[in-house]
Every structure is written in structure tokens, then in C-alpha cells.
Structure 1
Amino acid sequence: MWVVVYMVQGKEMAEKVGDLLTKEGFLIKIKPIYKNVAPEENYYRVMVPRSEASEAQKVLMENKYL
């Protein structure tokens, strides 16, 4: 099961967070919240497998995202 570890506005920022987690070895999914909205205006969920959520949040805190 996938869980949300971060929500952010703008596709560029979502991809930046996703890249950080990927470089740290996490599997990620980035999903838009709304459909038919411009990518820079939309909000995105950054998700990881439930078993990796705690570690992913630690990485985000260490990098000042949380």
C-alpha cells in the first residue's frame, strides 16, 4: 500500500522532492490531486510504500522539507 509523505503545489516542486527520495533509494509515485488544472497550479501527492514512509519522512526532515 502507498502512503502520502508530502503534498506540494506545482509539478516542478513535486518532482524535486521525488528526485531527492529516489536518490535516497525510495520507490515513489507522484499523483496530481486535481484533473484539468495547469501543472504549476495543481497540488501533488508524493507517495512511498507504507513500509518506507517513516524513513522517507526522516529524509524529508533532514533536507528541511518537513
Structure 2
Amino acid sequence: MAHVWEVPARHGDVPSAYVKADKEEGLEIYLYIPDGMETSDELLALLGVKHKGQLALRLI
């Protein structure tokens, strides 16, 4: 439907498409941390970064 209506598809629009799909060998997929997600200063220090923009979630 996204193609028909010419709007971008989002991950939530296709709930199982990425979760069940195999990926190419050597391909790494990263997701940025959403703006509304709170991250403590202690966690940032533990991960060795200064701000949330340096973080990403890696899908394995």
C-alpha cells in the first residue's frame, strides 16, 4: 500500500518483514535510538559515548 499511496513505508507497517528475513553475509544493520527514549548519563559513560547520537542498536 505504501507504494500505491506513494508514502514511505516504516518498520511498524510490516511487523515481521525484517525480524524473519535472513541478511547477506557480512551485512550489518543498525537502528538509531528514537528521540523519545531516555538514556542516563551513567549508561552513556558505561558505553563510552558522550551523547545519545553516538549510539545505535545493532540487529543480529
Q: TM over 0.5, yes or no?
A: no
With a CA cutoff of 8 Å and minimum separation of 6, indicate the structure with the bigger relative contact order. Answer: 1
Whose helix fraction is larger, Structure 1's or Structure 2's? Answer: 1
TM-score, normalization by structure 1: 0.24
Q: TM-score, normalised by structure 2?
A: 0.25
* Higher strand residue share: 1
